């Protein structure tokens, strides 16, 4: 006799005692059917059992429907926003503030004019990942080991700055640059970004004088508020020396050339993937740049231990999310839009239109995990699938046995 599992106790708020016309055995059959079906714990399975086990007219047995929240909105139009525009550039944010479902990941689309600076700052609550979409920029980073790192980034390059590492960005010109920033915390923005100008302005001048070795009056020349993004001169194109010529150069690279890595190739598209395996410093995020060819279908799958955040660079797709208990939500996405798929939710991505669809995808784990429906079906004996789905062996033998990744256009 099965123990009263938590599944069963949740779904069976039935009245005490089995309904008439049902044997104890069929009650348990029905309970296990409902447990297998999960979402299918409606009156249907009860009625089926009822009809099979009695000659009387089927009795209406009502299982109370589960109270489940509707699937939250999982679409946000990042590039349509105008959050911050100033001399030197602009920034658009997708944090929990704007996009509540996105608790674990936030994104910022930032543009800098030639020479402009995203000032010296750090993030107390989040690590920062970025992908260069346009133009070129230079970044410097300071690490807790007292090491400095400087590198230039071009289209297709990514960086990863661990939480709290101080950094600054500058657009190298000749044109403006555009990059997508992704943070491993949806709340990174509110109280989480600390800027050098803000700190200095809010420190008494006599302390600054003692700490930074200038006369107190000199600090009147510093900015009177947080700079955030500001105009600047295009720096020399070759990397300049650090002020401290003895500082140790960084031992762990912050730069990874995602577009230059060998892709995983599938019938309907390709994926460039970077996790902590390929890029050891990137411990809290995995990134994928996925290109779906026209007609491609990123197959039905889920991620056991990570949320998925998508930014559409080019082209269009339809995403359908399965949220258990018969819940679905479907949205179409195009350039500049963001999708968020919660950990464990089933989903697929169906390419739309005649041009390939390019998506940047982030997971809030340094290790990549995925389970596809096809692989799962391959990992079961035929007889189990026969009983589970009530279909013939012949049909089962036509099902795929292993994962496909991205399915190609319909023949």
Residues with a known catalytic role = 118, 121, 123, 128, 167, 190
Residue 68 CA, distance from chain mean position = 24
Tokens for 66?
């589960």
Length in residues, the chain: 411
Minimum CB–partner distance for residue 128 and Mn ion (Å): 5
**Identity of the residue, 254 or 316, whose beta carbon is nearer to Mn ion in the bound complex:** 254
Write the burial class of residue 225 (CB in 10 Å: 0-12 exposed, 13-18 middle, 19+ buried): exposed
Distance between CA 19 and CA 302 in Å, rounded? 38
Write out the residues near Mn ion by the rule CB under 5 A.
128, 308
Q: In sequence order, what E strands does 135-250 have? A: 137-142, 148-153, 158-161, 166-171, 177-183, 193-195, 229-230
Tell me if 251 sits within 8 A of 147, measured CB to CB. yes
Cβ atoms within 10 A of the Cβ of 370, count?
15
Tokens for 355?
């041009």
Residue 85 CA, distance from chain mean position = 26
Q: Give the chain's end-to-end CA distance (angstroms, integer).
A: 50
Tokens for 272?
């460039």
Q: To 5 degrees, how large is the angle CA 56–CA 57–CA 61? A: 105
Minimum CB–partner distance for residue 34 and Mn ion (Å): 28
**Identity of the residue, 124 or 218, whose beta carbon is nearer to Mn ion in the bound complex:** 124
Write the burial class of residue 93 (CB in 10 Å: 0-12 exposed, 13-18 middle, 19+ buried): buried
Residue 5 DSSP class: -
**Rg of the chain over CA atoms, in angstroms?**
27
Tell me if 335 sits within 8 A of 314, measured CB to CB. yes
Query: Three-state DSSP class for 276?
Result: coil
């Amino acid at each position: 006799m099965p123990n009263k599992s938590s599944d069963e106790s949740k779904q069976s708020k039935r009245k005490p005692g089995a309904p008439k016309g049902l044997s104890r055995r069929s009650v348990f059959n029905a309970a296990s059917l409902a447990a297998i079906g999960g979402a299918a714990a409606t009156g249907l399975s009860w009625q089926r059992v009822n009809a099979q086990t009695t000659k009387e007219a089927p009795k209406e047995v009502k299982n109370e429907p589960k109270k489940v929240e509707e699937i939250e909105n999982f679409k946000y139009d990042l590039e349509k926003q105008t959050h911050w525009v100033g001399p030197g550039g602009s920034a658009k944010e997708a944090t929990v503030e704007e996009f509540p479902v996105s608790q674990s990941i936030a994104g910022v689309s930032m543009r800098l004019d030639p020479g402009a600076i995203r000032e010296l700052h750090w993030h107390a609550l989040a690590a920062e990942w970025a992908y260069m979409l346009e133009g070129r920029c230079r970044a410097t980073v300071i690490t807790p080991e007292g090491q400095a790192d400087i590198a230039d980034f071009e289209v297709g390059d990514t960086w990863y700055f661990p939480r709290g590492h101080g950094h600054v960005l500058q657009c190298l010109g000749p044109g403006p640059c555009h990059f997508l920033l992704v943070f491993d915390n949806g709340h990174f923005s509110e109280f989480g970004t600390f800027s050098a100008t803000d700190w200095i302005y809010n420190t008494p001048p006599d302390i600054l004088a003692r700490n930074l070795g200038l006369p107190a009056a000199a600090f009147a020349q510093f900015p009177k508020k947080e700079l955030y993004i500001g105009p600047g001169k295009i720096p020399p194109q070759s990397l300049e020396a650090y002020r401290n010529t003895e500082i140790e150069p960084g031992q762990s690279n912050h730069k990874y050339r995602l577009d230059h890595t060998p892709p995983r190739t599938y019938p309907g598209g390709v994926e460039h993937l970077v996790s902590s395996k390929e890029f050891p410093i990137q411990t809290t995020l995995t990134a994928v740049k996925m290109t779906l060819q026209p007609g491609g279908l990123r197959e039905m799958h889920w991620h056991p231990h990570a949320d998925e955040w998508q930014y559409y660079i080019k082209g269009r797709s339809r995403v359908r999310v399965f949220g258990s208990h018969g819940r679905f939500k479907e949205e179409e996405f195009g350039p500049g839009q963001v999708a968020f798929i919660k950990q464990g939710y089933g989903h697929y991505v169906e390419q739309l239109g005649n041009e390939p669809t390019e998506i940047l995808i982030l997971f809030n784990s340094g290790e990549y995990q995925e389970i596809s429906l096809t692989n799962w079906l391959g990992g079961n004996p035929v007889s189990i699938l026969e009983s589970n789905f009530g279909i013939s062996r012949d049909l089962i033998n036509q099902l795929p046995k292993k994962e496909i990744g991205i399915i190609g256009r319909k023949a």
